[in-house]
Structure 1
Amino acid sequence: MTAAALDGYLRRIGLEARPEATYETLVDLHHRHLSAIAYDNLSIMLATIGAAPSPHPVDPAETLARVAAGGEAGYCFHNNGLFSLVLEQLGFEVVRRAGQMLEATGASGTLDHLAIEVRDLPTASNPEGRWVADVGYGDGFWDPLPLVEGHFRQSGFVYRLRRVGESGWTFHHDPHGSFLGSLVRGEVTQKEVERSHLRLATPPEGDFTRTLVVQRRDASGADTVRSIRHTRTGAGASVRELRDFDEWRSVLAGLGIGSAGVEEGALRELHRRQSAAYDDWLLTR
């Protein structure tokens, strides 16, 4: 990772100088990243229709450089990978942990989420100083959560953490969220993440190769585009279908997904296929 990439990322989320490694900084970075950088699998979906040579790799330094240059991040492996790298470079103590979504269809222990634990940031309410930071859930929590058992209310949403052993935990999402939660276990290596990325991003079995998903969290809620369905949870809750291509592309752009370097024909084909898949879903749900 280059210093220029780190500084470019900080500028993209609205910071002109490198902040100190404090709890207040962790919260601020968490908010800024979620507000500025979307969760998306666009590069995977473009690759599945032959409009891109391959999905974006999950190397944290490559993701950071891409985001610093104005590009998209990706899904949890990308967002939490680059965020953990940024935190480490700023002086935080970070542990990368393996996670599995509670609704996962794979065998027990399947790696399909990268989680972040930040240590040694004690506060009056969390003297142990261990925090769960996660900018890779898409519509997850706004503030980092203390790694203690309990329920946590944030801007109308309710989350729950349960400790599992010395190092793990289970996160339960708000009932209005887009997923149930995740089980987080021990430490994970980059090679393990890369192997799982290959499985998740390779059609036809890859979980992230069937439906376009773009999400972005803000202080009062979250926006999700799944296929051609746009859902807003929290403040201003709504649901609508984006059957018009220009409207669909405009909403994606509003969530931070640009189309630079992507041919319009490829986007139109993706929208066409996602519209057809959405209609199939309507008939079978």
Structure 2
Amino acid sequence: MLTAEEIKAYLHRIGICDIESPTRSFLFALHRAHVTNVPWETVDIYAGRSVSIDVNASIAHILRGRSGYCFHLNGAFSILLRALGYQVFLHRAGVQPRGEDPRINSFHVGMTVNLLNEAGEKEIWIADVGLGDMPYEPLPLKAGEYLQGPFLYKVAASSVAPNGWRLEHDPTASFVGVDVAPEVVHDMGTFRTNHEYYSISADSPWMNVFLVRQRNAVGSFELRGCMLSERNSSGIVKSELQFKTQWLDALGDIFGERLVDYDSIERDALWKRVYRSHEEWKKTNMK
């Protein structure tokens, strides 16, 4: 459980000034603030620094001004919500990349929040601050289509988990969707082996990909290597960051990632590796 000071520090980190009662409106405000101010990223994996997904370690990491990916983000956020009086549940889940089948492989942790509405009826909300560019606000665990900014999301029954659910991303977005199992997971230890695979395995999809994603009210940003993409209702605008100062400014000003755990020599080495990879990518993809 978080202390009162830790709760205040966490809320300050995501730009929330005051503690409110655990209502739907406050849950939405917390979710919006978290995805806006704490990006999804592979920075530490790319740099060869495996960060524990123990919730206390994830919270400390975020309070230092850092971030992580789904296991860190949803794990920490679940603890904050519980400390604020919400009823929160974690679930095994799996993200479906383009060209692959739906799966629940525990490479993602899903989250639901139970609330009582004004009529005293239970509502179940999908909360997920660990998917990068989806969603901006919680979604009801109810079949239907939901528009948030330029993204159209769909909630449906899962085809791979009995009584589970599926959150489908916008048809033009970075991945197809995520399937979630209904059974409750009681601690992050369930995901430790998969986190180790993501963090240290040579076969990890993130070992050689510098990727930062952020969702906001009108769309999303992505920094992949040296390519910055902004998506909003007008479409996608991409720009190439050719200088270290541009790259660091984008990390800090857009994503709030100021690499506070990295000294100037380490930041320079990180930039040089990213830029070399980018130049190799250009040789292959921009002929």
Asked if TM exceeds 0.5, the reply is yes
The 1:106/1:197 distance shift into structure 2, 3 A limit, reads: farther
- Within the candidate set 169, 172, 175, 2:168 is matched to 172
**In the alignment, residue 173 of structure 1 is paired with which amino acid?**
H
Residue aligning to 2:68:
74
Whether contact under 8 Å (1:172, 1:182) holds in the other structure is yes
Whether contact under 8 Å (1:223, 1:230) holds in the other structure is yes
**Cα distance in 1 for residues equivalent to 2:189 and 2:154:** 30
**In the alignment, residue 197 of structure 1 is paired with which amino acid?**
H
The 1:36/1:86 distance shift into structure 2, 3 A limit, reads: same
Whether contact under 8 Å (2:40, 2:131) holds in the other structure is yes
**Cα distance in 1 for residues equivalent to 2:259 and 2:38:** 15
Whether contact under 8 Å (2:23, 2:115) holds in the other structure is no
- Alignment partner of 1:187 is 2:184: yes
Residue aligning to 1:259:
259
**In the alignment, residue 252 of structure 1 is paired with which amino acid?**
L
**Cα distance in 2 for residues equivalent to 1:122 and 1:100:** 30
Q: Which runs of 5+ in 2 are unaligned?
A: none
Q: Which runs of 5+ in 1 are unaligned?
A: 48-53
**Cα distance in 1 for residues equivalent to 2:118 and 2:162:** 20
Whether contact under 8 Å (2:75, 2:188) holds in the other structure is no
Superposed CA deviations along residues 214-266 of structure 1, whole A, max 9, x for unmatched, are 11111001110011110001156410111211111110011111132412232
The 1:151/1:123 distance shift into structure 2, 3 A limit, reads: farther
Report the more deviating stretch, 268-277 or 23-32. Answer: 268-277
**Cα distance in 2 for residues equivalent to 1:170 and 1:106:** 13
Residue aligning to 1:212:
210
**Cα distance in 2 for residues equivalent to 1:209 and 1:196:** 14
Q: TM-score, normalised by structure 1?
A: 0.88
The 1:123/1:251 distance shift into structure 2, 3 A limit, reads: farther
**In the alignment, residue 267 of structure 2 is paired with which amino acid?**
L
Residue aligning to 1:51:
none
Whether contact under 8 Å (1:176, 1:233) holds in the other structure is no
**Cα distance in 1 for residues equivalent to 2:244 and 2:86:** 43
Superposed CA deviations along residues 76-116 of structure 1, whole A, max 9, x for unmatched, are 11111111111111111111011111128799542211111
**Cα distance in 2 for residues equivalent to 1:232 and 1:278:** 18
Residue aligning to 1:25:
26
- Alignment partner of 1:55 is 2:50: yes
C-alpha displacement of 1:143: 1.5
Alignment of 1:1-285 (within 5 A): 1-3=1-3, 4-47=5-48, 54-68=49-63, 70-103=64-97, 108-122=103-117, 128-164=122-158, 167-185=163-181, 186-188=183-185, 189-235=187-233, 237-254=236-253, 255-284=255-284
**Cα distance in 2 for residues equivalent to 1:42 and 1:16:** 28
Aligned length: 277
Superposed CA deviations along residues 13-40 of structure 1, whole A, max 9, x for unmatched, are 2334322111111101011111211111
Superposed CA deviations along residues 187-227 of structure 1, whole A, max 9, x for unmatched, are 33411122211111114112221101111111001110011
Whether contact under 8 Å (1:76, 1:114) holds in the other structure is yes
What's the Cα RMSD here?
2.4
Q: TM-score, normalised by structure 2?
A: 0.88
**Cα distance in 2 for residues equivalent to 1:96 and 1:130:** 13
